[in-house]
Chain A
């Protein structure tokens, strides 16, 4: 099966066969072996051995790959699934930017925006305290604040919606 693997905004084609892969037109022997009782998988590419952890993401084909001291967020889909996901991503785009959610349970220390504010990517929206440290939560992309769901002093759970954007 041929996969389109997206990592760091770049797409690569990898054809997986019974004894290896074709990557950039080159046939390479490759295999993936589970290590019982461990999240580690042994990946061999040619004669090179890699100790890999591949955490599955929320959707099919999404993986967080830990390899040689680096962490990669990867999406590996076959051509058909890739096309479908590109279409859904394009249509869901009109729904606007994702709301800001609490990445961890904690306490809201400061709210830096109000409904109607136009924010730019990377702008600090909320300061929340967790583990005795203050953490600034920033806008992932540009948008307009449509609602602020918390005030300073609110205790929130992981995943709680804090600020809605359009």
Chain B
């Protein structure tokens, strides 16, 4: 295995990071470790943001709304020209998967840290990606793409991939017009009732049929390819804990994936990536059923939010390698030697109030205590004084832990979440604590539908009698403290001479809340 030392020359000497928040900081950190100068871009709302201060240079690219700043390709290219940057890293979100931007960067004579524009286009729409995947022999969820005429057609289609099948209203949603059919005998009646229900609910009786995926998990494969023809997979991530199709918790490896399945899914992902002419880091998303069958969903042509869990179990720095690959370096790894070691879990810490139905919370961070100790990693974009507004994504940071086994990683995450303290906005911290305490999550027996069904029970969990007692006593002690502060502030009560700053502050507090 050949490694490249810091002193080896890279083509890239100055890199512009076309993003904000934690991922901008992540890329800037990689640049600094590689000896590459970094350029941050920022909107008016981010003038004081952490990613700006950590970069070597920074350029304002417009007003707070992303559509007038982070999404304006021309402003970003202007910033690159002005600072003499020779490469652009798009992060995730914003312009990261826009074919035209990847093309514009290339046409401006800059290096795009990501896949070629053509590969982004090939994987850009779900239908195009599906067609490409089928041609490459990659399994997709079998089914019709147009409405069924009648039960005869439904039966013919169902027999091509076998039962159980799912009948699904074209205009569907909320489970209406959906039927799971276990045998051909049930098909006629099920189709009639699904069409009736669809017509009543949506005014449209069009119904599709597809293979029913029993207990589906979201399992994705990280791929990494260089410009010299090497395409590797770095194993899987399990991202089944989702709310409203948003991932909340990610793990590597997956409890449902054996080494044999990993090798097969990995080979499939590599085949899909090759078919798209892919280079750099990318992710193939799959549904995995209870029997180990998997089906390609789509390919994400960028670095993923959840990339750190893969980094921790493989020891491969994905963001550094993105940059090195873009600089023309060869991947020194051998597929057979990339084996996940230990277990990593990531919790997305968002400014959403778990106790209030995940309502967005805004404000200024007034206090932040970041967990530390063995096996804890914090990829964040906030600090004390950061304003959490409504302009951008609610993700504040990612808390990631690493340990030898899944159980140990869950225990470690629980410990780290207890250490974490963020004041100023409400966060998803308590949600993650309840998750780490949950027996079903700990067993790993979950699907992509599990969390939505579990949430009501999760938010109704009561604290222990001991914690309740402690909270009651703590509140009484606080009330006594505040009461004494109010009394101390009254002129008719003698106060000791030379009152401390604390006394003065307490008086003000006491008066304010009286």
Interface residues of chain A, those whose CB is within 8 Å of chain B, are 1, 3, 5, 7-8, 12, 14, 16, 21, 23, 28, 30-32, 34, 38-41, 43, 45, 48, 50, 52-57, 59-61, 63, 65-72, 74-78, 103-106, 130-133, 135-136, 158
B393 within 8 A of A: yes
Mask of B470-482 contacts with A, CB within 8 angstroms, 1/0: 1111111111111
Min C-beta distance of B69 to chain A, whole Å? 16
Closest to A40 in B: B421
Q: Are A32 and B477 in contact (CB-based, < 8 A)? A: yes
Min C-beta distance of A60 to chain B, whole Å? 5
Residues on B with C-beta less than 8 A from A23 are 469, 472-473
Q: Which of A3, A66, A69 contacts B476 (CB 8 A)?
A: A3
Q: Are A30 and B513 in contact (CB-based, < 8 A)? A: no
Closest to B356 in A: A103
Q: Are B468 and A72 in contact (CB-based, < 8 A)? A: yes
Also in contact, A14 and B472, with CB within 8 A (given A1-B480, A60-B482, A61-B479): yes
Question: What are 28 pairs between A and B in contact, CB < 8 Å?
Answer: A1-B483, A3-B476, A3-B480, A5-B475, A7-B471, A7-B475, A8-B468, A14-B472, A14-B473, A16-B480, A23-B473, A32-B477, A32-B478, A32-B481, A38-B369, A40-B421, A65-B474, A67-B467, A68-B463, A70-B430, A72-B468, A72-B471, A72-B475, A74-B472, A103-B359, A104-B361, A133-B394, A135-B360
Closest to B468 in A: A7
Min C-beta distance of A99 to chain B, whole Å? 17
B456 within 8 A of A: no
Besides A53-B421, A69-B417, A135-B360, 4 new A-B residue pairs in contact (Cβ under 8 A), listed by A number: A7-B468, A21-B477, A30-B477, A104-B390
Among B430, B475, B478: residue with most chain A CB under 10 A: B475
Residues on B with C-beta less than 8 A from A158 are 362
Q: Which of A39, A45, A71 contacts B470 (CB 8 A)?
A: A45
Q: Which of A48, A72, A136 contacts B463 (CB 8 A)?
A: A72
Q: Are B362 and A105 in contact (CB-based, < 8 A)? A: yes
Residues on B with C-beta less than 8 A from A21 are 473, 476-477
Q: How large is the interface on B (under 10, 10 to 19, 20 to 34, 35 or more residues)?
A: 35 or more
Also in contact, A131 and B481, with CB within 8 A (given A50-B470, A104-B360): no
Residues on A with C-beta less than 8 A from B362 are 104-105, 130, 158
Distance of A21 Cα from B244 Cα, bound (Å):
46
Q: Which of A34, A39, A76, A105 contacts B366 (CB 8 A)?
A: A39
Distance of A136 Cα from B358 Cα, bound (Å):
11
Mask of B415-428 contacts with A, CB within 8 angstroms, 1/0: 00110010100000
Q: Are A131 and B477 in contact (CB-based, < 8 A)? A: no
